[in-house]
Chains A and B, each alone.
Chain A
Amino acid sequence: MGPFAMMTCHDVSTLVSTGGLHETLLVRRLGVRMHLAMCRHCRAFRRQVETIGRAARAAALAFERELPEDFESKLVQRVRVSLIGGER
């Protein structure tokens, strides 16, 4: 059994959840990939994490839809007024 197989479900799920996968060493990334190929529980965990991401992005889109079309124009106007006020 090679070193890749030594990663536990705990190691893999922690790395997935902390978002540290991209910054980790290549050998560990390969270890995670191999583990995920073999372990359906960790694949399910990764899907949970991905679903949380999709849900959060959907919530963010709902927030954006609250804004009127002229949001940017009004914002620029308010910022300019505020800057002029600050100069006095």
Chain B
Amino acid sequence: MVQLDDTYLGRLRRRDPEALRAVVDEQGRRLYRAARGMGYSKSEAEDLVQDVFVTFIESIERFEGRAQVGTWLFGILHHKSQERRRTVVRDELNDPIDQIFESQFDARGNWIRPPTAPDRHVSAQEAGKAIQDCLEGLSPSQRDVFQLRQVEELSAAEVCKISGHTITHIGVLFHRARMKLRECLEGKGWGRSR
């Protein structure tokens, strides 16, 4: 893992190509797949990643070395993504998925419609294809949080730093994203035993 100590930061400030290459090697593909997961096309995702690294080098003076490089880069990605979307879509206080989820429990908190364990034989590739369509049903913030928490496995605290949301709100967005995906995958007949 690239450690941004003073020597390394100095090399990046001097725009040393080898130092830049090391960060790109470590984080480039990760940022690209995150951008794709957030809903950008191949060319948009490539542009976005390039933009992230340009901003990273230009703003390296502000980097104090306390944050992880990955968190810093994902913060830039989040910011750039919001700029591209132009309007910050505000998530509704109540999302219809909340009601769907709540309706699955009785007043005592027990399942009314118990979940069925997904088929173990569904291949990862098959599941991956199925979820790509379902991701389209998420709001941009739900999609971003899902990508960072679920795929990049960043902690809630790191996603807070990146997105500026509170820990509680990150949990709500993650829950809504997962429950929407669950509904969508069930609707596709996936997740049920065959």
List which B110-167 residues lie within 8 A (CB) of chain A: 110-111, 114-118, 122, 124-125, 127-132, 135, 146-147, 149-151, 155-156, 167
Query: Size range of the interface on B?
Result: 35 or more
Cross-chain contact B131 with A59 (CB below 8 angstroms):
yes
Looking at chain B's contact residues, the main secondary structure is helix
Cross-chain contact B171 with A83 (CB below 8 angstroms):
no
- Give which listed residue, A14, A51, A82, A83, contacts B191 with CB less than 8 A: A51
Cross-chain contact A17 with B125 (CB below 8 angstroms):
no
Whether B172 sits at the interface, judged by CB under 8 Å, is: yes
Count of chain A residues with Cβ under 8 Å from any Cβ of B? 45
Chain A residues near B50: list those with CB within 8 A: 75, 78-79, 82
Can you report 26 A-B residue pairs in the complex whose CB atoms are below 8 A from each other? A10-B109, A17-B179, A23-B167, A48-B117, A48-B182, A48-B191, A49-B182, A52-B131, A52-B181, A52-B185, A55-B127, A56-B151, A57-B150, A59-B131, A60-B151, A62-B128, A62-B132, A63-B33, A66-B36, A72-B24, A75-B49, A78-B50, A79-B24, A80-B17, A80-B20, A83-B54
A binding-site residues for B, Cβ under 8 Å: 8-11, 14, 17-20, 22-23, 41-45, 47-49, 51-64, 66-67, 71-72, 75-76, 78-80, 82-83, 86
